[in-house]
Amino acid sequence: MYVAPSILSADFGKLNDEITAVCEAGADLIHVDVMDGHFVPNLTIGPVVVKSVAKIATKPLDIHLMVDDNTFFTNLFIPLKPKFLSFHIESENHPLRLIDHIRKNGISPGIVLNPHTEISTLKYIIKEVDLVLLMSVNPGFGGQKFIPSIIEKSRELRELIYKTDAKCLIEVDGGVNGLNVAELDEAGVDIVVAGNYVFSSQSYKAAITSLKL
């Protein structure tokens, strides 16, 4: 299991130290939540702050857009060269065009599904993306409760990947902790995002290690 700490739960007053600490504690990716106050009822950070995160991080960035205007935000973040750049299927009319645009810029495209969005919506997209991110909370805030039906949904996605011979990774985001990670692993999940669980722990290293099954 790869672990991507979400910096949404970090102490933004000492963001550089927080990034360095999770990188040294074994993070595989740094998960960055970008919210526009429209698609979700919260507002986070833009390219100015993420640029300084990219400078400090020794692990690749995993950018999660939660925005209405995906093309606008994608173009803001392309110059920062994240490993993954993912957007929500619910807010995009032309996902295949945007996936193509992200890939042409040398970045791995990802698609995100809200908890209620069916896996079947991915049928004609799955082979074009490098990552599918399944939300296990309603997006917008850290520290929420894990929605258990995501376990079954992860299995369904694993099945679709197998059937279509797609190559994408499965990432789960929201409410992940040391208690539910085993079930996610068993369901075929490759990457977990963890915000509150990591950043509220006494030892980042112990928390991250407990997620690496």
Residue 5: contacted member of Zn ion, ligand DX5, none (CB under 5 to 8 Å, by partner type): none
Applying CB under 6 A, among 39, 84, 197, 204 the residue interacting with ligand DX5 is 197
CB closer to Zn ion out of 121 and 138: 138
In the complex, least distance from residue 161 CB atom to ligand DX5, rounded to whole angstroms: 22
Does position 82 interact with ligand DX5 (CB under 6 A)? The reply is no
Residue 34: contacted member of Zn ion, ligand DX5, none (CB under 5 to 8 Å, by partner type): none
Residue 8: contacted member of ligand DX5, Zn ion, none (CB under 5 to 8 Å, by partner type): ligand DX5
User: Is 17 labeled as ligand-binding?
Assistant: no
Which of the residues 23 through 62 are near ligand DX5 (CB under 6 A)?
31, 33
User: Is 173 labeled as ligand-binding?
Assistant: yes
Catalytic one among 11, 28, 33, 36? 33
Which DSSP helix (H) or strand (E) runs through 173?
Answer: strand 169-173
Chain contacts with ligand DX5 (rule: CB under 6 A): 6, 8-9, 31, 33, 64, 137, 139-140, 142-144, 173-176, 193-197
